[in-house]
Structure 1
Amino acid sequence: MQTLIKNGLVYTNQQLHHADVLIEDEKIKAISPDINVSADVTCIDAQDKLVTPGLVDIHVHFREPGFTHKETIDSGSLAAAHGGFTTVCAMPNLNPVPNTAQLLKAQIKRNQTDGHIKINQYAPITNDLTSTDLTDAAALKAAGAIALTNDGKGVQSAGTMYDAMLLAKAVDLPIVAHVEDDSLVRGGVMNAGVTAEKLGLPGILSVSESSQVARDIALAAATGAHYHICHISTAESIRQVREAKKAGISVTCEVTPHHLVLDDTMITHDDPMMKMNPPLRGFEDRQALIAGLIDGTIDCIATDHAPHSAEEKAGSMRTAPFGITGSETAFAVLYTQLVRTRMVSLSQLLAALTHKPAAVLKLNAGQLQAAQPADIAIFDLNTAHTIQVSDFVSKGKNTPFIGDTVYGWPTATYVNGQKIHFPI
């Protein structure tokens, strides 16, 4: 079976050029201008559209098992595909937490059975994410873990993190860290500062993040472990990572779409859709994040797709859970607000969403090349689209981007050469 995607603007080998892409069975057969094929080949006209490797997201929450009223592997993986993502990495804050090799193998099997895309699975650093008891890193790696993380919870003890890094280093697994010192959160629901004071809402100190980043960079230097920072959000954290990289320490980091395009000056009222963790920081922090993405301090973009039910996200920031969805809106929002405004080039954006996140965790993904799996996304760069609740495949509609007009809306996603069809 062959499919020919014709006349697209194709991103391959880190460059953009006009070409055709020929799919044969599950793989890319050829990428070249004006490919001629027989009449029985399925042809897709991608004139005026962007054709990319399937996007790679190394930070998603699919909520199953334990929280299926928020999301399932089925709905979450379809939402990822709807946004152009064909490879993702799922967080372990589930119930039960996959603390053991047996539980992790069961989770991986569930991902493979119910998922519509390629789902890699994280394992926890400590049992149940909140204890100081380390999991068996060697057994979890043998069971299929791609990395260790307590995402959603910062590791509070330096001793625990040091020991975890030693174990992870010994089995060649990255430590992927949610960086947050609980003693500096102080019941906050948004970034501490002028906006929080104006709205009368308790603030989260930015040093709650940067203080743990500083601690963990020192531990990574001491242990030689690969240390990856989730959803980095402050200018001070960026400064520390930049210096650590110059010093040759094995540190990588990711940034979310929402931290790149939103900041706390845009929060005008008590709005749960603007509540995420880490919180939206100040304008200067957001500018530092954009600069860090451009100069390579930030390695990649990851959505931190965090669906919640409408009931949970109703009411006040004081009571609603942290988190917003991101899979379905990520590319269009970033393309509209960063590329069309000429802050970031299209190639820079695509690198941060394809081969660069894949490189962080050594995934076989994010490349559009002959003989590679035909994981492909197509985006319409020229047609305006207003984001509506009815657009979403995810169970979670909790996003501040509903009502925004964007460009770059996804139009098709292929996984192993098969087009994904969506129930909307």
Structure 2
Amino acid sequence: MSETFLIRGARTAGGDTVDLVVAGGVIEAVGAGLSRAGATVIDAAGLLALPGLVDLHVHLREPGYEASETVLTGSRAAAAGGFTTVFAMPNTQPVADTAGVVEQELALGEAAGYAHVQPIGAVTVGQKGERLAELGAMASSRARVRVFSDDGSCVADPLIMRRALEYVKAFDGVVAQHAQDPRLTEGAQMNEGRVSAELGLAGWPAVAEESIIARDVLLAEHVGSRLHVCHLSTAGSVDIVRWAKKRGVDVTAEVTPHHLLLTEELVRGYDARYKVNPPLRRDEDVQAVREGLADGTIDIVATDHAPHPAETKSCEWPAAAHGMVGLESALRVVQQAVVDTGMLTWDDVARVMSRTPARIGRLATAGTPLEAGAPASLTLYDPAPVRAFTADDLHGRSGNSPYLGRELPGQVRWTLYRGVPTVWDAAVLDIPGAHA
């Protein structure tokens, strides 16, 4: 397929209708009535042109847990969802707590060719919360790590968290915290409240999240360092982050698509596809996080894409694994939850799903505007169709999506990563040279 493309009649997030010429991996020109001899023409009439989406919170499972996902299959799923950059969480085996492991992840992403895979380094050795990992070595490695997280393991020790914030400040890094007090959530199975009491399941109190966020924004303020709050899920958490930002604390926060749309009521059927960490919350929390995203308190949407083998979900609720896959459905869910409801514009979507996550991750080559000279990483999206989300929409190794059978708007029609098509007219392409 030609490496030069003429995209005709696309609508930008700002509402303009433009043509784009893509050549040599960059956007060569943007304007009206463009032509380019020998270019492959993409008819984008009625399609929305967005900068390639950036996901700051993805689990690719490789190395160590390839039964759930690999870098190749996960980045294929990312391309199907319109993503051209994903930040890979460190809960692999071995844990991504050394320069060697993060460089391995980077190389696997380069070999796959579907998206830029940017490793996230662990905060502590083995994610055990006892002593700091090789933060400086990972930061100075070829992977140039700037985001550090112990992912599903909260950095619960306040002294370790303070030291991590102090350390990453030296190279403009950020600690991304999984806000979950471990003592307050021992044995927890779902959100604590009326529904958990009726079902007889151990509750997961909102304060377990909120107390860690409150502690950490004060630590970040004291140190003068950057803090990022992963998958914020409660109304109280929104209030705390809003308060911290008014004080001038350098804190950012993310919300997942599922916390923008789904509630704890879905747990009543004991379908483990709805078991996730943090848990699905009350309708009041869903409304609060939507409002927090709309007013800028919450900075970005991140999927927390968490693939699992079928047997770890097709079992009784207490034994089931936490997590949902979300890359392929994210843009469609965001459209349903906050665009079609009038809370966000498409330019807001470009900000919270591309520009700002790239900025938080300090990745200058991602989330760039669709303008001449920029890398040609972009998504052409059709917001018009409404159809059920099915297993055919999934392109990773696992099928634990909470949206199977649910009507969702929109469809990713084309994804270009650095000028190379990865999705062509809604079909995910095979990339020459990509390997599992």
One of 63, 85, 92 as aligned partner of 1:94: 92
2:164 aligns with 164
Shift of 1:316: 2.4
Q: Distance in 2 between matches of 1:336 and 1:172?
A: 35
Q: Which moved more, 1:110-119 or 1:301-310?
A: 110-119
2:6 aligns with 4
Q: Distance in 2 between matches of 1:257 and 1:327?
A: 10
TM-score by length of 2: 0.93
Letter in 2 for 1:111: G
CA deviations on 1:179-220 (whole Å, 9 max, x unpaired) are 110000021111011111122211111111001001111110
Q: Which moved more, 1:328-337 or 1:265-274?
A: 265-274
1:176 aligns with 176
2:145 aligns with 145
Letter in 1 for 2:7: I
One of 66, 84, 89 as aligned partner of 2:64: 66
2:200 aligns with 200
Q: Distance in 2 between matches of 1:148 and 1:234?
A: 23
Shift of 1:264: 1.2
Shift of 1:52: 1.0
Letter in 1 for 2:314: A
Contact 1:137 1:171 in 2 (8 A): no
Contact 1:293 1:300 in 2 (8 A): yes
1:80 aligns with 78
Q: Distance in 2 between matches of 1:35 and 1:423?
A: 27
SS at match of 1:135: coil
Q: Distance in 2 between matches of 1:203 and 1:271?
A: 17
Structure 1 residues 288-307: aligned runs within 5 Å? 288-307=288-307
CA deviations on 1:105-157 (whole Å, 9 max, x unpaired) are 22322232234211111111000001311112211100121211100110111
1:366 aligns with 367
Structure 1 residues 4-403: aligned runs within 5 Å? 4-11=6-13, 15-38=14-37, 40-143=38-141, 144-364=144-364, 365-367=366-368, 368-403=370-405
SS at match of 1:222: helix
Letter in 1 for 2:422: I
Contact 1:73 1:115 in 2 (8 A): no
Letter in 1 for 2:9: N
Contact 1:19 1:31 in 2 (8 A): yes
Q: Alpha carbons of 1:195 and 1:372: their partners in 2 closer, same or farther (altered >3 Å)?
A: same
Contact 2:382 2:413 in 1 (8 A): yes
Contact 1:174 1:228 in 2 (8 A): yes
SS at match of 2:15: strand
Contact 1:177 1:230 in 2 (8 A): yes
Paired-residue identity, %: 36
Shift of 1:419: 0.6
Contact 2:19 2:34 in 1 (8 A): yes
CA deviations on 1:340-397 (whole Å, 9 max, x unpaired) are 2323322222321111111212222112221011001111111222211122111111
SS at match of 2:228: strand
Contact 1:393 1:423 in 2 (8 A): no
Q: Distance in 2 between matches of 1:264 and 1:82?
A: 28
Structure 2: tracts of 5 or more residues without a match: 431-436
Contact 1:154 1:182 in 2 (8 A): yes
Q: Distance in 2 between matches of 1:205 and 1:25?
A: 52
SS at match of 2:253: strand
Q: Alpha carbons of 1:37 and 1:327: their partners in 2 closer, same or farther (altered >3 Å)?
A: same
Q: Distance in 2 between matches of 1:392 and 1:416?
A: 23
Q: Distance in 1 between matches of 2:59 and 2:45?
A: 34
Q: Distance in 2 between matches of 1:338 and 1:145?
A: 32
CA deviations on 1:16-42 (whole Å, 9 max, x unpaired) are 31111110121001111221333x211
Contact 1:259 1:286 in 2 (8 A): yes
Contact 2:214 2:240 in 1 (8 A): yes
Structure 1: tracts of 5 or more residues without a match: none
Shift of 1:320: 0.7
Q: Distance in 2 between matches of 1:343 and 1:297?
A: 14
Contact 2:87 2:117 in 1 (8 A): yes
Contact 2:6 2:35 in 1 (8 A): no
1:419 aligns with 421
Shift of 1:6: 0.6
Contact 1:389 1:402 in 2 (8 A): yes
Q: Which moved more, 1:106-115 or 1:183-192?
A: 106-115
Q: Which moved more, 1:384-393 or 1:368-377?
A: 384-393
CA deviations on 1:234-271 (whole Å, 9 max, x unpaired) are 11111111111111111001110000111213433212
Aligned length: 420
Q: Distance in 1 between matches of 2:92 and 2:242?
A: 33
SS at match of 1:171: coil
Q: Distance in 1 between matches of 2:89 and 2:359?
A: 18
